[in-house]
């Protein structure tokens, strides 16, 4: 029997791993088709530009969710590592808190804009823009959830340091 946690991991993996891979593959194949028709056959295709752009949007936003989950994003670790464990936890709470706050603050405007996008379509393939930009909503939700996860992890670290002051010193 598949548990709810396993199902959640499967859904997250689909959105953060498999969809970005598929969209990147589509983007690459369509881009090669575009080059072939434009430069070899001297007959450019207009639909390839739209597919490439939409696939790029899907790849970037969903791929960013994967990077945030794995904590493989770019960070200023040279400066960050100079601080004590306690200071790093406090900085994580502040930075993640600000990110989550401003992303949550943007939700009403984002949803309003998505309502507007439901009425707009691309020029060639007539794909509705809210479908093209749907990964942004996933990015918004996942980035907020990972920010909250980081806040809880940092708060846990602060509690551990409070209970055992010897582990809160300068690292390295």
Render pLDDT for 29-81 as a digit per residue (tens, 0 to 9).
Answer: 999 999 999 999 999 999 999 999 999 999 999 998 888 877 766 666 777 77
Whether 115 and 47 map to the same domain: the answer is: no
**Tally of CA atoms within 13 A in the half-sphere of 10 that contains its CB:** 6
Whether 85 and 101 map to the same domain: the answer is: yes
Distance CA 66, CA 135 (A): 12
Domain range for residue 5? 1-73
Whether 94 and 128 map to the same domain: the answer is: yes
The structural domain count of the chain equals 2
Task: Say yes or no to pLDDT of 4 above 90.
Answer: no
Mean pLDDT of 134-151: 93
The SS3 assignment for 121 reads: strand
Nearest Cα residue to 93 out of 156, 154, 167? 154
pLDDT of residue 73: 67
pTM: 0.81
Whether 51 and 117 map to the same domain: the answer is: no
Of 54, 73, 92, the domain-final residue: 73
Whether 30 and 61 map to the same domain: the answer is: yes
Of 73, 90, 120, the domain-final residue: 73
The SS3 assignment for 80 reads: helix
Extract the tokens encoding 123.
């020029």
Whether 83 and 53 map to the same domain: the answer is: no
Of 25, 40, 73, the domain-final residue: 73
Q: Return the axis-axis angle of helices 134-163 and 47-70, rounded to nearest 10°.
A: 10
Distances (CA, A) of 117 to 47, 105, 106, 122: 20, 20, 16, 10
Distance CA 101, CA 98 (A): 5
Buried b (16+ CB within 10 A) or exposed e, 65-102: bbebbeeeeeeeeeeeeeeebbebbbebbebbeebbee
- Range scoring the smallest mean pLDDT among 90-99, 125-134, 163-172: 163-172
pLDDT tens-digit series, residues 81-128: 788 888 889 999 999 999 999 999 999 999 999 999 999 999 999 999
Give the pLDDT band (50/70/90) at residue 144: very high
Whether 14 and 38 map to the same domain: the answer is: yes
Measured from the Cβ of residue 61, the count of other Cβ atoms closer than 10 Å reads 23
Whether 65 and 79 map to the same domain: the answer is: no
The SS3 assignment for 83 reads: coil
Whether 87 and 54 map to the same domain: the answer is: no
Mean pLDDT of 14-36: 94
């Amino acid at each position: 029997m598949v548990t709810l946690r396993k199902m959640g991991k499967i859904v997250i993996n689909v959105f953060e791993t498999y969809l970005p891979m598929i969209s990147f593959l589509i983007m690459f194949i369509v881009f090669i088709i575009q080059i072939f028709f434009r430069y070899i056959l001297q007959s450019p295709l207009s639909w390839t530009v739209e597919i490439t752009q939409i696939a790029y949007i899907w790849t970037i936003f969903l791929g960013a969710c994967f990077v945030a989950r794995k904590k493989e994003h770019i960070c200023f670790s040279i400066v960050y590592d100079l601080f004590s464990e306690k200071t790093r936890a406090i900085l994580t709470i502040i930075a993640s808190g600000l990110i989550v706050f401003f992303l949550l603050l943007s939700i009403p405007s984002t949803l309003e804009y998505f309502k507007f996008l439901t009425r707009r379509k691309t020029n060639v393939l007539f794909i509705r823009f809210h479908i093209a930009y749907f990964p942004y909503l996933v990015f918004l939700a996942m980035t907020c959830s990972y920010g909250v996860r980081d806040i809880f992890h940092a708060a846990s670290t602060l509690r551990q340091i409070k209970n055992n002051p010897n582990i809160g010193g300068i690292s390295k």
